[in-house]
Amino acid sequence: DGGITQSPKYLFRKEGQNVTLSCEQNLNHDAMYWYRQDPGQGLRLIYYSQIVNDFQKGDIAEGYSVSREKKESFPLTVTSAQKNPTAFYLCASSARASGSVYEQYFGPGTRLTVT
């Protein structure tokens, strides 16, 4: 069964704590992406990676960090520096690095609540 998995589905954290969201894909896709979704704002790009050991900042990278040590995995860490971390986080992947040509496939998302 090919697809993208994200865990956990729901995550609760206290302010000031770092938290890592998992994203794994078995589609053999080169590129992976992290988005944040807030009500009424669509999807905003946090980070993306075209290839193992390489990644680029998206539009709202401040307060987040990523790694891409394996092709299948692209974990996102929400650090205590992120001012408004409560949101719905979506991970996506596409077959090739040119995200404008190949459609992106999405995972089920992680809803993070920080209090």
Partner 1 sequence: EDKVVQSPLSLVVHEGDTVTLNCSYEVTNFRSLLWYKQEKKAPTFLFMLTSSGIEKKSGRLSSILDKKELSSILNITATQTGDSAIYLCAVGAQGAQKLVFGQGTRLTINP
* Binding interface with partner 1 (CB under 8 A): 4, 31, 33, 35, 40-45, 48, 50, 56, 58, 90, 97-101, 103-109
CB of residue 100 to partner 1, shortest distance in Å: 2
CB of residue 16 to partner 1, shortest distance in Å: 28
CA gap 50, 109 in Å, rounded: 20
Nearer to partner 1, 52 or 80 (CB): 52
CA gap 101, 107 in Å, rounded: 19
CA gap 36, 114 in Å, rounded: 14
CB of residue 38 to partner 1, shortest distance in Å: 10
Nearer to partner 1, 11 or 97 (CB): 97
Nearer to partner 1, 33 or 64 (CB): 33
CA gap 49, 97 in Å, rounded: 8
CB of residue 70 to partner 1, shortest distance in Å: 19
CA gap 109, 59 in Å, rounded: 19
Nearer to partner 1, 5 or 67 (CB): 5
Nearest to 45 by CA among 113, 112, 106: 106
